[in-house]
Structure 1
Amino acid sequence: MKKLFALFALVGLVAAVTGCDTTSKQSRNAVGLYSIGDYTAAANVLAPEAQKKDEHFVLNNLRYGSAALAAGQLENAENAFLAAYEVMNGVKTNDGGRTMGAVLVFEGVKVWKGEPFERAMAHYYLGLVYLIKNDYENARAAFQNSVFKLRDYAEDAKKEGGADKFTAAESSFALGYYGLGLCNLRLNKLELADQNFELAVKYDPRLKQLVEDTKKPGTNTLVFVDYGSGPRREARGWYNEESVFGPTPAQEGPLPPVVVTANGQTLNFDKGRYATTDTLALAQEGKWQDIDTIRKTKAVIGTGMMAAGTGVAAYALSQGDSGTALVGLGILAAGALVSASSQADTRSWEMLPRTVYVVPATLPPGEQEITVQVGGATPQTLKANLHSGTKNGAKADNVLYFRVLAPHANYRPVQK
């Protein structure tokens, strides 16, 4: 009987297991610091975490890159985004033992590479760092990688768990196409620039004004503004085997307008047309998500094993056959373990903004006080020493970056 009670206890323990997020305490603390605008402290906490060669390597480097960029640590941001970029694009990262481990244990053992929308944003940020450095060749390569082909899964694939039932779809990442257009424009590849700008406007007509302003001959300054919070991932399902992203754009409401001023003069009068993406919307689209059949398959198998084990144990106990009852409870316990191991990986890139505003401008060289106001958020100001818009005889933009949190957060100006 002691064995029976032990097995019952094991089943109860397994049933208590919840969704899987293996983020370390240090990384959680860094996310908290970032959320209140203490970017330097967040970067300091994340720096050693980003060096660890584990399943969090990509995610911690993206977190570190976000914090370093907002703190004005450009070289650290570049190194972090580049490290994540190299692993994301490695074809063998999740092969062999790590993928097998996902089947035998839980998904958190895999190297996190993010959902397609997170990967697109990761490539974009690497491109942005190169834009700030006026390295248009490397920026173009990063933006090119941000518009990778997507997988548009059929409805029956989602129901049956058929991961191979998809059609390849062209990327609709308008921000990536805009970046490509800008780089080709500065590299004097005008035909390619026009093609990419056309794709940007095709996938997001709001970018028409942005493209027109960018192409003006006198444009020498680009103000990039990250605003708000991106989607967060939560577990769903009986065994937390599925995950969903939220909130939705409808829950958060429309994107607020952005106003950028230089020495008190407004740079953008058409205030609603400089948002280039909405990560909350991307996270709700099937083609911007990965389909994962491992979790559902394991949950279904585990439930079946638990039902079978319960039946065997109940019948054997009614017949006074403790040996067979132990076998039944063993099957039940094994099924519970399989079901519990189907927990969804709820890790996500918490530093993502909801949107990226880009405001082009023509400004004279010298010191300028640039102020950014987004909706009801606290205005942010930085003093920048601008150049004329050329370096070594070639066109080179002044690229400024701001991070604006939601209105309820505490703020500190982004120092560059």
Structure 2
Amino acid sequence: MTDSRPVPPSRERRPSVVALFVMSTAVVLTLAGCATMPEPPARRPVTRTGDPLIDGNADLANGPDKDRVLLEYRLGVVALRMGNFNLAKAKFDDAITRIGGLISGPDDAAKRSRGLFTAEREKTFIGEPYERVMAFYYRGLLYWRDGEPDNARACFRSGQLLDTDAESDTFKSDYVLLDYLDGLASARLAADGSDALARAQKLTKNTLPPYDVQGNVLLFVEFGRGPRKYAGGENGELLRFRTEPSRIRSASLSVLEQSVHFLPWDNLNYQAVTRGGRVMDHVLGNKAVFKQTADTIGDIALVGAVIAAGNIHQEKRRVVTDEKGRKRVVTETDKSDGAETAAIALGVIGIFSKIAAAATKTRADVRMWDNLPQYLSFGSLQLPVGDHAAILQFYDANGQAVPDLARRLTISVADPAKDTVVILSELKR
């Protein structure tokens, strides 16, 4: 007679501690991989005064050195719009000096940011080409305002070089205003600016005004909001630009029965999206490939570790006969050292692959000069010495005036032989 009732196994089936560790770690890492760690917040001053110049200087004092150029860009243009020209000059001078050194010399932070485990935003900020161009553009206006058209021209030419890909010759400078002002400065210096004017005219469908050497008031007008950066792609490795259509499409200034109409000459949104790829795009692309590959290897290895861990202990059944001749089915558990070794090895591979994937920094640097305009424009007129009341109007896409943006201002001409530079912006900060 055979008793088919199973008896308790001679040994309990217990996965090893190592196998349990592997399985639990796999679960933790898988769950952790679904979450994205937020970027650490930028250091900000403890209190805000509401005064953009005071707050901007506080940002500089408290901000990291890698963001210094960015903060100087922002503060410089705010100071310019508020009429604090000395502060604007100081900030743009320092920023230009710093970016010049970083372009021509090695930057350890930039080298580190190319590594797998360092984010691009850790490098010293100098900005995309359109941002660097604008630093030279604004500094050129300030030089001209100080009666130095030769230094202004040097700034405009530097901006043209920054917008040109000198190595591959793929991109040519295409800022209408930079070429036009290059030639205008030459004309003011009794030189020939016709070549620069011809270059500028080729870049636009609009007919540009001939150089007016008698116009002693130079009007630089900007409107709209410039491009916004964001990180695209599956791993945030692509630098993208959000370009929203500006409500304002033109402007006009009226003074002493004269009127100057301002249409867009240059569009910074266009400049941002047409500049082409960056060297860092390839670096981040390779980082993204590594991250995805490591993550996939980690998934496969950890699944294999779990399966191997489940096979460490295997049940076997056999029939035994006791001393009374009765037969019984006995269940026994055998341990497989090979399965345990495989579980440990695959677990280690999976864990380190997951850690490497999680630590790989693929996100594009989206720090931006966020108070730039979209459109740049220019005009000139002739005014006698004295203070002159003027009205500035902005217009929408339908040519309708936008009343809440209209403003009254005074144009002061001190010396008819010296250019009076007036810088006007829709943006107040």
TM-score bracket for this pair, using the shorter chain length: 0.7 to 0.9
Instruction: Provide the identity percentage.
Output: 22
Residues 256-302 of structure 1: CA distance to partner in whole angstroms, max 9, x if unpaired? 22110115x3422xx36x42211111112034866521211111011
1:317 aligns with 2:306: yes
- 1:5 positional shift: 3.6
CA, structure 1 residues 308+134, in 2 after alignment: closer, same or farther (shift >3 Å)?
same
Query: Partners of 1:19 and 1:241 in 2: how far apart?
Result: 15
1:140 aligns with 2:136: no
Aligned residues: 368
Query: Partners of 1:84 and 1:184 in 2: how far apart?
Result: 26
1:230 equivalent in structure 2? 226
- 1:204 positional shift: 2.2
1:50 equivalent in structure 2? 60
CA, structure 1 residues 97+77, in 2 after alignment: closer, same or farther (shift >3 Å)?
closer
Query: Partners of 1:140 and 1:129 in 2: how far apart?
Result: 11
Whether the aligned pair in 2 keeps the contact of 1:260 and 1:359 (CA below 8 Å) is no
Whether the aligned pair in 2 keeps the contact of 1:308 and 1:332 (CA below 8 Å) is yes
2:130 equivalent in structure 1? 117
2:28 equivalent in structure 1? 9
Q: Taking structure 2 as the reference length, what is the TM-score of the superposition?
A: 0.77
Query: Partners of 2:285 and 2:277 in 1: how far apart?
Result: 19
Whether the aligned pair in 1 keeps the contact of 2:284 and 2:363 (CA below 8 Å) is yes
CA, structure 1 residues 288+86, in 2 after alignment: closer, same or farther (shift >3 Å)?
farther
Residues 7-26 of structure 1: CA distance to partner in whole angstroms, max 9, x if unpaired? 64355445422686864445
More displaced stretch, 168-177 vs 329-338: 329-338
1:200 aligns with 2:208: no
- Among candidates 87, 104, 116, match of residue 76 of structure 1: 87
Whether the aligned pair in 1 keeps the contact of 2:22 and 2:306 (CA below 8 Å) is no
- Among candidates 264, 267, 270, match of residue 275 of structure 1: 264
Whether the aligned pair in 2 keeps the contact of 1:245 and 1:283 (CA below 8 Å) is yes
User: The residue matched to 2:410 in structure 1 has which SS?
Assistant: strand
- Among candidates 173, 178, 181, match of residue 180 of structure 2: 178
- Among candidates 190, 206, 212, match of residue 216 of structure 1: 212
Letter paired with 1:315: G
CA, structure 1 residues 115+149, in 2 after alignment: closer, same or farther (shift >3 Å)?
closer
Would you tell me which structure has more helix in proportion to its own residues? 1
Alignment of 1:13-412 (within 5 A): 13=32, 15-17=34-36, 23-25=42-44, 41-50=51-60, 54-90=65-101, 91=103, 95-103=107-115, 104-148=117-161, 150=163, 166-189=168-191, 191=192, 193-206=193-206, 208-209=208-209, 212=210, 215-247=211-243, 252=245, 256-263=249-256, 265-268=257-260, 271=261, 274-287=263-276, 292-320=281-309, 321=340, 322-339=343-360, 341-375=361-395, 376=402, 378-390=405-417, 396-405=418-427
Residues 52-95 of structure 1: CA distance to partner in whole angstroms, max 9, x if unpaired? 56111111110010111111110110011111111111135653
Query: Partners of 1:397 and 1:117 in 2: how far apart?
Result: 27
More displaced stretch, 308-317 vs 144-153: 144-153
- 1:142 positional shift: 0.9
More displaced stretch, 111-120 vs 288-297: 288-297
1:159 equivalent in structure 2? none
Q: Taking structure 1 as the reference length, what is the TM-score of the superposition?
A: 0.80
User: The residue matched to 1:384 in structure 2 has which SS?
Assistant: strand
CA, structure 1 residues 64+288, in 2 after alignment: closer, same or farther (shift >3 Å)?
farther
- 1:356 positional shift: 1.6
Letter paired with 1:225: V
Letter paired with 1:328: I
CA, structure 1 residues 60+130, in 2 after alignment: closer, same or farther (shift >3 Å)?
same
CA, structure 1 residues 97+228, in 2 after alignment: closer, same or farther (shift >3 Å)?
closer
The structure, 1 or 2, with the larger RCO (C-alpha pairs under 8 Å, 6+ apart) is 2
Letter paired with 1:99: K
User: The residue matched to 2:249 in structure 1 has which SS?
Assistant: coil
CA, structure 1 residues 84+149, in 2 after alignment: closer, same or farther (shift >3 Å)?
closer
Query: Partners of 2:157 and 2:44 in 1: how far apart?
Result: 35
Residues 146-197 of structure 1: CA distance to partner in whole angstroms, max 9, x if unpaired? 00165669xxxxxxxxxx8x434331122211221122122111x2x22112
Query: Partners of 1:218 and 1:93 in 2: how far apart?
Result: 43
Q: Which runs of 4+ in 1 moved over 6 A?
A: none
Query: Partners of 2:76 and 2:109 in 1: how far apart?
Result: 28
User: The residue matched to 2:302 in structure 1 has which SS?
Assistant: helix
Letter paired with 2:55: V
CA, structure 1 residues 313+7, in 2 after alignment: closer, same or farther (shift >3 Å)?
closer
User: The residue matched to 1:319 in structure 2 has which SS?
Assistant: helix
Whether the aligned pair in 2 keeps the contact of 1:235 and 1:241 (CA below 8 Å) is yes
Unaligned ranges ≥5, structure 2: 1-19, 310-339, 396-401
Unaligned ranges ≥5, structure 1: 154-163, 391-395, 406-410
User: The residue matched to 1:208 in structure 2 has which SS?
Assistant: coil
